[in-house]
Amino acid sequence: MQIPANTIYPRSGDRETVYLKAVVTDPNISVGEHTIYNDFVRDPTGFERNNVLYHYPINGDRLVIGKFCSIACGAKFLFTSANHTLQSLSTYPFPIFYEAWDTPVSEITEAWDNRGDIVIGNDVWIGYEAAILPGVRIGNGAIVAARAVVTKDVEPYTIVGGVPAKPIRKRFDPDTIRRLEQLRWWDWPREKLRQLLPLLRRGELAALERAAEDI
């Protein structure tokens, strides 16, 4: 069965899980198909307001989330404006309060150091109340443990945890990771993925690769 593009809730009777693509409206937030967010504390449709923080249009920075990601309750994405500049001798954000300090409005962004976009790959699992900091890139297939604070890029298929988050282990050996990155199953048409889902779920990579060539 084809899922309508505007479907919000993946499961009947479940109002704690949403397809993020269906509830995001900010043009600077991009979410891939089938990515889900679960929230048992707040309304998950409020993801933009409650989970994407300090994301002001003046910076133009983006949140990019791939396909088939799983984002747990309370995960936060903190953007550049959460920071105070370290280039000054003071961390006080004088440019924000331009009226009080007679500074130009055009200098507001100098109150923080711009660290850029947050980019999340495909098939990424972000755990309960994890925090992703500005400028971080998380590779395909990675896992972020509950309440981890991710300050640096995460390589594909790597499990990270802690404060600050550090690699715990790779999910697979280097050859398997290379083959999965090449396979890019998340880009397959829905019907092809549906047919090959049993092989994907059972971890039968060689069989999956062979079957993928025939469909």
Which residue is it, tokens 């976009």?
117
Q: What are phi and psi of 78, to 5 degrees?
A: -100, 130
What are the structure tokens assigned to 124, written together? 């990424």
Q: How many residues does the chain have?
A: 215
Yes or no: say if 132 and 75 are a contact pair by the CB < 8 Å rule. Answer: yes
DSSP string, 50-117: HHEES--TTT---EEE-TT-EE-TT-EEE-GGGS--SSSS--S-GGGGHHHHT--GGGGGGGS-----
Chain centroid to CA 41: how far?
20
Dihedral of the alpha carbons of 179, 185, 191, 192, in degrees to the nearest 10: -10
Nearest-10 crossing angle of helices 205-214, 174-183: 20
Residues whose CB falls within 8 Å of the CB of residue 70, separated by 6 or more in sequence, listed in order: 35, 36, 38, 124, 125, 126
Residues labelled catalytic? 84
